Amino acid sequence: MFVIVLCGTIIGMTLLGRLTPSLEWFVIFYLLAAFAGSIIAVLLSTMTTKYLPADVLGRAEGILDVMTGIPRIVGPLAIPLLADAYGPEAVLIAMAASVVVSILFLCSQRRTLASPG
pTM: 0.53
Domain ranges of the chain: 2-114
What phi and psi values does residue 20 have, to the nearest 5 degrees?
-75, 145
Would the CA dihedral through 80, 82, 87, 89 be positive or negative? Answer: negative
pLDDT (0 to 100) of residue 69: 82
pLDDT (0 to 100) of residue 27: 79
For residues 4 and 1, give the distance between their C-alpha atoms in angstroms, rounded to a whole number: 5
- Of residues 75 and 14, the one with the higher pLDDT is 75
